[in-house]
Amino acid sequence: MNYFTMGEYDVIVIGAGHAGCEAGLAAARMGMKTLLLSINLEAVAMMPCNPSIGGSGKGHLVREIDALGGEMGINIDKTFLQSKMLNTAKGPAVHSLRAQADKEQYHLEMKKTIENQPNLDLKQGEVVDLIMEDGAVKGVKMRTGAQYLAKAVILCTGTFLRGKIFIGESAFDSGPNGLAPSMELAYNLKEKGLKLRRFKTGTPARCLGKSLDYSKMTEQKGDEVVVPFSFMNETLDKEQVSCWLTYTNEKTHEVIRANFHRSALFGGQIEGVGPRYCPSIEDKINRFADKERHQTFIEPEGLNTDEMYIQGMSSSLPEDVQDAFYRTIPGLENLEIVRPAYAIEYDCIDPLELLTSLQHKSIPGLFCAGQFNGSSGYEEAAAQGLIAGMNAALWIQGREPFILDRSEAYIGVLIDDLVTKGTNEPYRIMTSRAEYRLVLRQDNADLRLTERAYEAGLVSEERYARFKKIKEDAEKEIERLSNKEVIPSQVNSFLESVGSTPLQNKSTLAELLKRPELNYAMLAEIDPERPELSRHSLTRVEVSIKYEGYITKQYQQIEKFKRLETKKLDPDFDYQSLDGLRIEAKQKLSQIKPLSVGQASRISGVSPADINVLLIHLEKMRRRKPEEV
């Protein structure tokens, strides 16, 4: 085919899902002339699976995306149907916000934001190949014969790359939600040396709400006081929509077990590896045979549709079996399925091929993000997209990449896990993956990240000014509470009234606040001088004071971690020549090319003894340098 050039850009983003949207917006906001390409404009910020944002661990990612100047938090605050803070019975480190989204409105609002963003063009079209020159990426070729030139390209293909849908014995090429797959690009990426492998995921059926009997389910309401995702919003007030809880039973399990042989998962048709932490219902029943029931949430898809999402019940069983087993669940006896459940298989890259900047190690100018990198989930995709978009812009500008380490952000944990450890299944973030989660709370994401993103050029002046005020207000109040002394006669009647031990000697308000039975709001009775604080500042004050000792200890652990991170390694070092390293360590270090001793220590197959060899080598090099001078 004779190709014709239709435009030149700084950055081209392939795919406009959650990764592509954040990548395109980030690059454009950093001054790059950016093109965002989608195989279908209906796929912009599409939610082909669960219509929700946030959740355990994932809520932290959304707050961090927002703190860095991203769009996901702002968009869900505009379009949520229900909001809930999870894990509130536990400590603040694992509190995670989750919001049910109006699926159509989420798509439309994000699309509108992209259309109105300066420096950003959004176009529909299928990319079939990359333009390469001297081993570097220089643009993209379209199915229509058009081509676009660029200095950097970001791959955000989601589950579209050689997508294949499975429903029972039926299997056909398709992207998610019935959209067209991207077939030719997958073959051309392989030809260019990218190591692709096969993953799979799935989604439950959708049914009509009017066909359900909610009297047999337990109503799940949102929080009375809504906590926004975005630091730019102080409060959100809207009428929320309920979700509903019901359970499978032995009859459900009997129907599914009797039809295991008809599942694409067990029939051998699916070759891709699925997510361990989000299995299909037949996989759950097979793996957890002793469980008498599994919970399922019935969740609305939007205000302008009667479709309901049957959460936790993805499946690759045929439609007649789906209809049979769903109807055994209380409240679903007469359900009408409007979209059957399905499994989808797709191509993705081995993330060990990527640098921590998400640039490909051997193809300059090629960045990768989202499910293409082997992750699972809208939030994980958006986080990577934001970082890839920032780093594409910084690379073009000749600046240092924007790297977050494991002590700075859940985003740092996510990317470090992918590019250092790799993944053999779709990767999902969890609070348990973060070693320093007491410091990486969702309430302080702006304190950790906003200033750095502002220096990189992504955060707006308005956002930065708001961040500074929240920070300063909290610091002033912590100082005031730490210096404000009270005597027993002033506070003992109050303390006794709330079941707290009376004072014997004077104390500060900060010391009182550390008591588990007291909170900042309760102290208002004995603290008439307290200032008006924003929700964000108030939360920071309370958490910082209550958990001061634990936080201090965690920062000491981070200092030890940082010492290894600052010991830099030459990515071009010949590990085969280093005596003392085991063969496996030589192979892994040569493949991954870690940038620091800290990163090397997290590579599977590299032992503490191997790390000692590296440290000795670095010390020898350090001592040799003065002699060379």
Q: Does a structural domain hold residue 119?
A: yes
Q: Does a structural domain hold residue 39?
A: yes
pLDDT at 90: 87
Q: Does a structural domain hold residue 467?
A: no
Q: What is the C-alpha to C-alpha distance for residues 70 and 390, in angstroms, rounded to an integer?
A: 10
Q: Does a structural domain hold residue 469?
A: no
In this structure, how many other beta carbons lie within 10 angstroms of the beta carbon of residue 403?
16
Same domain, 417 and 532: no
Range 45-63 average pLDDT: 96
Q: Does a structural domain hold residue 592?
A: yes
pLDDT at 629: 38
In this structure, how many other beta carbons lie within 10 angstroms of the beta carbon of residue 514?
14
Same domain, 302 and 350: no
CATH of the domain at 620: 1.10.150.570
Query: Predicted confidence band at 415 (pLDDT cuts at 50, 70, 90)?
Result: very high
Q: Does a structural domain hold residue 465?
A: no
The phi-psi region of residue 82 (left if phi > 0; otherwise alpha if psi is between -120 and 50; otherwise beta) is beta
φ, ψ of residue 596 in degrees (nearest 5): -150, 165
Model confidence over 473-526: pLDDT tens digits?
999 999 999 999 999 999 999 999 999 999 999 999 999 999 999 999 999 999
Structure tokens belonging to residue 228: 């926004």
Same domain, 244 and 385: no
Range 140-164 average pLDDT: 97
Q: Which amino acid is located at 181 in the chain?
A: P
- Return the closest-CA partner of residue 127 out of 155, 98, 168: 155
pLDDT at 625: 67
| Count of the separate structural domains present in the chain | 4
Q: Which amino acid is located at 215 in the chain?
A: S
Judge residue 609's burial from the number of C-beta atoms within 10 Å of its C-beta, 0-12 exposed, 13-18 middle, 19 or more buried: exposed
Same domain, 338 and 351: no
Domain assignment of residue 315, given as a range:
206-342
Same domain, 541 and 580: no
φ, ψ of residue 14 in degrees (nearest 5): -100, 110
Question: Does residue 280 have a pLDDT over 60?
Answer: yes
Question: Does residue 443 have a pLDDT over 50?
Answer: yes
Model confidence over 121-137: pLDDT tens digits?
999 999 999 999 999 99
Q: Which of 1-5, 326-330, 361-365, 618-622 is predicted least confidently? A: 618-622
Same domain, 105 and 237: no
Question: Does residue 79 have a pLDDT over 80?
Answer: yes
Same domain, 549 and 609: no
Question: Does residue 142 have a pLDDT over 90?
Answer: yes
Structure tokens belonging to residue 258: 């009797």
Same domain, 110 and 190: yes
Model confidence over 339-370: pLDDT tens digits?
999 999 999 999 999 999 999 999 999 999 99
β pairing state of 206-208 and 337-339:
antiparallel
Question: Does residue 412 have a pLDDT over 80?
Answer: yes
Query: Predicted confidence band at 627 (pLDDT cuts at 50, 70, 90)?
Result: low
Same domain, 211 and 281: yes
Q: Does a structural domain hold residue 463?
A: no
Q: Of 327, 342, 357, which marks where a domain is finished?
A: 342
Same domain, 12 and 103: yes
53 Cβ contact partners less than 8 Å away, ≥ 6 residues apart? 62, 72, 76, 80, 98, 99, 101, 106, 229, 378, 379
Same domain, 48 and 66: yes
Q: What is the C-alpha to C-alpha distance for residues 543 and 477, in angstroms, rounded to an integer?
A: 12
CATH of the domain at 188: 3.50.50.60
Q: Does a structural domain hold residue 196?
A: yes
Same domain, 253 and 387: no
Q: Of 397, 426, 455, which marks where a domain is finished?
A: 455
Q: Is there a contact between 598 and 565 (Cβ–Cβ < 8 Å)?
A: yes
Q: Of 301, 322, 342, which marks where a domain is finished?
A: 342
User: Please, what is the average pLDDT of the chain?
Assistant: 94
Question: Does residue 585 have a pLDDT over 80?
Answer: yes
CATH of the domain at 536: 1.10.10.1800
Question: Does residue 270 have a pLDDT over 90?
Answer: no
3-class secondary structure per residue, 525-555: HHCCCCCCCCHHHHHHHHHHHHCHHHHHHHH
